[in-house]
Amino acid sequence: MIRAARAWAPANLALVKYWGKRDAALNLPATSSLSATLGLFGSEARIVPADTDVLDVQGDPGRALRVIEAARVLTGNRAPLDVVVRNTVPTAVGLASSASSMAALAMALSRALAFEDRPVQTARLARLGSGSAIRSLFGGFVEWDAGIAADGSDCRARTAFPATHLPLAIRVAVTAGGPKEVSSGEAMERCRGTSPSYEGFVRDNPAVLEAARSALADRDIARLGGIAEAQSLQLHEILREASPPIDLLRPASRDVLGVVSRLRERGVPCFFTIDAGPSVAVFVEPRHADAVGSALAAIPGVVQVLEDAVGAAGARFLEEVE
Ligand code: DP6
């Protein structure tokens, strides 16, 4: 038996990055990470019973199939499903739409296949779909522990600080559309195998995470921003060092970095972060958000500026579908 279910999950942006896997089959990360959950952009998943499987997933249907199969193994329920997943965040511009879509799918499956009383399983399924999806289950500033257990039992995520702890607006400079050329998983593997500075990135991760946690605890935007920017630059350095190299940034992405640093010189508390794509997200005190938005929109090559903020809530169920 299948119950109709709908779930929503927000996207998230990493301040301390997950990059590389300690176990590819279980999708366990090599580094612990810290992210900010978004308030508006995300994904919706809807599941209803069907006569035969129907899968309509924006993005990568292969990931969705992996999550659905894991839910079937968990519950033994193989009844056919009609699954729709839609993103309200542009797919594959580096805004981790796979995170919100896989978190929404895992949530919806937990109700459709009746395991919503087992949040650890929902988290495992979201993570199998996309590592960063586990963070989209939670609101505010979220920590995801890499853990060391071979079975992933200590690989958990939780809200480290609520969104109200440090209210921040987010403006995302979208610098190019179109799908990414290399998937995150493939890029991670290449970096792990060929980038000389990848090892140091993993080694430094516990100290970087601790520093970010302490900056957040102190509500210190300058320190937190310094860490997030350094992590982003290091990630893209590691990508460029890979063999063959992966350069995801566009000239306009680099121009955004210059504008952010000039805004900061003029006294606007803001910082950037970049995930695995050409778009650059800028975190800013809410009262300066409009100024940042206008400055980003004026950069040639910035095709769109998305407006959001750090959001209070993680993935949640929506009203039942008919
Ligand atoms: C750069 O979560 O997309 O955004 O587990 O292979 O699906 P898979 O990777 P994914 O990688 C996200 C990488 C990142 C950094 C981060 O979100 O921490």
pLDDT digits (tens, 9 = 90+) for 99-145: 999 999 999 999 999 999 999 999 999 999 999 999 999 999 999 99
Mean pLDDT across 286-291: 98
| Nearest-angstrom CA–CA distance, 1 and 132 | 30
Mean pLDDT across 233-257: 95
Please give the mean pLDDT across all residues of the chain.
94
Mean pLDDT across 255-276: 96
DSSP character string of 229-246: HHHHHHHHHHHHHSSS--
Q: Is the distance from CB of 209 to CB of 32 less than 8 angstroms?
A: yes
C-beta atoms surrounding 312 within 10 Å = 14
The two three-digit tokens of residue 233, written as one number? 């630059």
pLDDT tens for residues 41-50?
A: 999 999 999 9
Mean pLDDT across 267-281: 94
Predicted confidence at residue 93, as pLDDT, reads 54
How far lies 75's CA from each of 70, 116, 240, in Å?
9, 11, 43
Cα(131) to centroid(ligand 1), Å: 6
Q: Which of 12, 18, 272, 274 to mutate to test the pocket of ligand 1 (most atoms within 8 A of CB)?
A: 18
Domains and CATH numbers, the chain: 5-163 (3.30.230.10), 165-309 (3.30.70.890)
* Residue 180 reports pLDDT greater than 90: no
Pairwise pLDDT comparison (144 vs 91), residue with the higher score = 144
The burial of 247, by beta-carbon neighbours within 10 Å (0-12 exposed, 13-18 middle, 19 or more buried), is given as exposed
pLDDT tens for residues 192-204?
A: 999 999 999 999 9
Residues flanking ligand 1, CB < 6 Å: 14, 17-19, 27, 33, 96, 98-99, 130-132, 184-185, 275-276
The two three-digit tokens of residue 158, written as one number? 């939780």
* Residue 322 reports pLDDT greater than 60: no
Single-letter code of the amino acid located at 49: P
User: What residue's CA is closest to ligand 1, atom 5?
Assistant: 131
Cα(59) to centroid(ligand 1), Å: 14
Confidence of residue 60 (pLDDT cuts 50, 70, 90): confident
Residue ranges of the alpha helices (H) in 242-321? Answer: 251-265, 289-297
- Residue 159 is inside which H or E element, if any? strand 157-161
Cα(132) to centroid(ligand 1), Å: 5
* Residue 92 reports pLDDT greater than 80: no
Predicted confidence at residue 58, as pLDDT, reads 87
Predicted confidence at residue 35, as pLDDT, reads 98
Q: Is the bond preceding residue 244 a cis peptide, omega within 30 degrees?
A: yes
- % the chain with pLDDT above 90: 88
- % the chain with pLDDT above 70: 95
Predicted confidence at residue 90, as pLDDT, reads 62
* Residue 178 reports pLDDT greater than 60: no
Mean pLDDT across 293-297: 98
Q: State residue 156 phi and psi, 5-degree precision.
A: -125, 160
The 3-state secondary structure of 50-71 reads CCCCEEEECCCHHHHHHHHHHH
Q: Which atom of ligand 1 is nearest to the CA of 12?
A: 17
| Nearest-angstrom CA–CA distance, 127 and 132 | 7
Q: Is the distance from CB of 254 to CB of 246 less than 8 angstroms?
A: no
The model's pTM is 0.96
Q: Which atom of ligand 1 is nearest to the CA of 13?
A: 17
Predicted confidence at residue 91, as pLDDT, reads 57
User: What residue's CA is closest to ligand 1, atom 14?
Assistant: 275
